[in-house]
A and B are shown apart, each in its own frame.
Chain A
Amino acid sequence: MLQYVLRRIGHAVLVLWAAFTATFFLLYALPGDASLTRAGIGSDSSQVSPQQLAQIRSELGLDRPVLVQYFETLGNTLRGHLGRSLQSGTPVKKLFAESVPSTLELAGAALLLAIVLGFAWAVLTVYVRWEPARTALGTVPALGVSIPIFWTGLIALDWLSFRWRLFPAFGNSGFSSLVLPAVVLAIPSASVAAQLLTRSLETTLASPFIATVQAKGASRLRILLGHALRNSVLPVLTALGMTAGHLIGGSVVAEAVFTRSGVGDITVRAVDFQDSPVVLFTVVFAATVFVVVNLIVDLLYVVIDPRIQLTAAPRAGARLQRAAA
């Protein structure tokens, strides 16, 4: 177990390093020149004298070979120096310290909502026996994965904030400003969870042990919640682990729609300004969230299904092995 966790942490560090490296070379080796935006003239280099440009480049350290810049940035990152934003000169660490909590709050609330809504919806879909209602319940998640969240967000704003004035239209002030963004952000993930859990529950309900439980006289609700649910959760859990990344990506859009401050908000502004250090660490932040959530998901497997043993397999691909029954 401990060996497994250590191995996974090693793998996680490798993934983070690779994400850092790939993003670094994407940002620093490709055309685009931060010194031009720094000079405040967009990408038109004719307005500034070559001397001025060279001076800005050397101030930013952009005149040195890419590899030197890479190892310096990597070394600084490992020592905890994330550099400064090119746009405002604020230390990147400070920017993130201010914005990460609000983004994690949003993504966390959305994840929680997605689990609750998705599970409740799937259980309801399987429980209802009247065919038209069952079909209708099964169709809604298909809608949920197809509707862009920027659109649902704006429609919610239009009706709930501007017309009925139930929720604030923007900002990060307290719980009431979190409700709309979290619900909107949760819809796609909740729909995916509902679809997978419905399918998984139907498979489980067809297995022989359910017939035994039925023969013993358990009610349908009891069979569903007490016996089938726990045996159907694993595929949904895996999918929810994968959605953690989507939630961070989606929070970029949600923050834009609801004018919330957060990582997404600073990133969109950083992209406009070619603010490479900020973009670099946003990518690393998203990868960190993904890696951590998926490690937790893997550890949860053992809690949910004790038959599963985590083994330190030689290949990270084959992570789980069912114990021989």
Chain B
Amino acid sequence: MTETDLAQQPPETALVLSGEDAVADARPPRLAVRSGRAERVRRAVGVIVRQPGLVVSILLLAVVVLAAWDPGLFTHRDPIAQDYPRLSGPSAAHWFGTDDAGRDIYARVVHGASASVKAVVVAVIVGLFVGSGLGLLAAWVGRLVDDIVMRVIDVLLSVPALLIALAFFTALGFGTIHIAIAVGIGNIASFARVMRAEVLRIKAFGYVEAAKFSGISRLRIVTRHVVPNALGPVFVLATLEVGLALLNISSLSFLGFGAPPPAPEWGSLVASGRDFLGAAWWMTTMPGLVVALTVLAANRVARSLEGNRAVAP
């Protein structure tokens, strides 16, 4: 149903339609204004509740963020203390089992959340700021600058993010923060492309021209009229990049470029179980399962945002 179809209908019909089903709920937000704020909130809650997968994903992400913020909420055990029986399987006392040094793996995973979440946030912010900055520059200035930025992006795209990260570690050394920055550099290309496309699209609109003729300074046009309108798709991309960043970050930590042991990190926790394959399956399976579920949840939330966005004009 297009915007004009809806505009021709009397408001009552639009309201009746709005409560009907999930498809109707995905309508352009503009219409929601007509039906009032309470109705809009009620409908947004309805959309979420009708998708159990989405609810579970949001809850899971909330748990991970809480665990990163204060691990004490979920466990009182010390992630480094070696005071439990060695290599005992998952049980009521040790949900994820214990490792070869007698440490509780559940406690280690909970405490590892903070490093992973921080690294993801840094990686996405680096990609978001540098990438969309480059994209904005390319599209707004155009000509030679555009050409140069696009060539830089071609080069960034041609080298896999993982290898950019490895070159980065060779130069600057290891550590969680270096992993985060390196993964962020790998993200720059996709943010720059989306931002550039958006700014080019918006630049062509009449209101930007009108603003120019009204004598508004170029800087003000960019900050007030272009950037806010271009940010929507960029933020959707940012949510999509969260899952990808977590995958890359845990892979690099798995390869051993993260914090040195015994600090718990999700990737290195999986790696530490490598020597006990076939003997202690839980050492690799449990931390890896947490990584997989978190990425899955992040992707699920991102896809639902992307879907809402695609329907909106």
Contacts and interface: CB of A to CB of B under 8 A. Distances in A.
Interface of A: 11, 14-15, 18-19, 22-23, 26-27, 30-32, 43, 142-143, 145-151, 154-155, 157-158, 161-163, 169, 242, 245-246, 248-250, 252-253, 256-257, 267-268, 270-271, 274-276, 279-280, 282-283, 286-287, 290-291, 315-317
Contacts of A142: 296, 299-300, 303
Contacts of A270: 170
A279 B167 contact: yes
B166 A252 contact: yes
Contact of A27 (B155, B162, B170): B170
Secondary structure call for the B interface: helix
Nearest to B281: A158
B284 A146 contact: no
A290 B166 contact: no
Contacts of B256: 268
Given A148-B292, A155-B288, A31 B158 contact: no
Nearest to A290: B158
Contacts, number: 152
B160 A146 contact: no
Given A154-B270, A252-B255, A274 B158 contact: no
Contacts of A162: 277-278
Interface string B137-163: 000000000010011101101111111
Question: Would you call the interface of chain A mostly helix, strand, loop, or mixed?
Answer: helix
A299 to B, nearest CB: 18
A85 B14 CA distance: 71
B277 A287 contact: no
B170 A276 contact: yes
A245 B284 contact: no
Given A150-B271, A286-B159, A290-B157, 20 more contacts: A11-B154, A15-B155, A18-B155, A26-B171, A32-B173, A142-B296, A142-B303, A146-B292, A148-B288, A148-B291, A148-B295, A154-B284, A162-B278, A249-B161, A252-B162, A268-B166, A268-B255, A268-B256, A291-B158, A317-B150
Contacts of B243: 146
Contact of B167 (A27, A252, A253): A27
Contacts of B97: none
A249 B186 CA distance: 12
A257 B284 CA distance: 12
Contacts of A253: 162, 251, 254-255
Contacts of A155: 284-285, 288
B171 A31 contact: yes
A169 B274 CA distance: 12
A276 to B, nearest CB: 6
A250 B161 CA distance: 10
Interface in B294-309: 295-296, 299-300, 303
B247 interface: yes
